[in-house]
Amino acid sequence: MTMDVPIFPILINPTFTILDHQQWIGRLAYIFFGIILPPSIPKFYLSTRTDSGQIIEEVLMPVDTTDLFNELCVVEDQESLLIVLKRWANRYSIFDLVQAQGFTAKELKNLHPPSYIKELSWKHSEWLIATIKEIRSAHLQKRETMNLEEYYDFIERIRENLIKAEDRVERDAQTLYSLCAAYHLFITKTPMHMVGTPFPGGFKVQKIGEEYFCPVKEKQKDVPEALCKFCVAKQLKI
């Protein structure tokens, strides 16, 4: 019999630092997933303790983002897309999510004020973990025709972004976010940013009735790197 060695402490009234942010990811993952899954980043180890007290460490292999992207490229309909998304979502560990959030934290560090960074980072973390959890248990309620022309336009945009990635951390983070975006855009037909996500000026993504509204849809939809043009959200009247 073995038992997992605790990795993340439970925090009370945390101050927001990069370290605490990663710990909060761990706490959220425990709340959402119930367990902390085996890590899949080479620098991390799965540590278990035997009844005799011996600690056994096993190096775990990383998620292969190239294989994931290749599978996304041969999708034919919603059913085949969801099969790919579920298979890969089950392979991501909390450490993959922390690594992706570390990349996001660096991307956000020059924004102002600090309170906005904190709110945006928290909402992004909530979105990422909730989306991965949802994909893992998802089932098609009804099969809808998928716009394959739009989907492969989406895939081409992802490919262009991955080519521009400066290192593996950025490439892996973008692949993970693309997986989540594909689920929202082509399976649930919901915005890539969850309701309540803040944007500069105090505006947030909103749901009014059955429609979604984003404060930056028109501004971002033609940005080459953005995926906003694929989003179901409409422009929020400001």
Task: Enumerate the domain spans of the chain.
Answer: 2-189, 191-238
Buried b (16+ CB within 10 A) or exposed e, 89-109: beebbbbbbbbbbbbbbeeee
For the segment 129-146, the average pLDDT, to the nearest whole number, is 91
Nearest to 126 by CA among 206, 59, 198: 198
Q: 53: pLDDT confidence band, cut at 50, 70 and 90?
A: low
pTM for the model: 0.74
User: Is the separation of the CB atoms in 188 and 194 below 8 Å?
Assistant: no
Which tokens in the block code for residue 141? 């309620």
SS3 labels along 44-112:
CEEEEEECCCCEEEEECCCCCHHHHHHHHCCCCCHHHHHHHHHHHHCCCCHHHHHHHHHHHHHHHCCCC
Query: Is 63 a residue whose pLDDT tops 70?
Result: no
Which tokens in the block code for residue 232? 């179901």
- Which of 32-41, 99-108, 132-141, 223-232 is predicted least confidently? 32-41
Query: Is 211 a residue whose pLDDT tops 80?
Result: yes
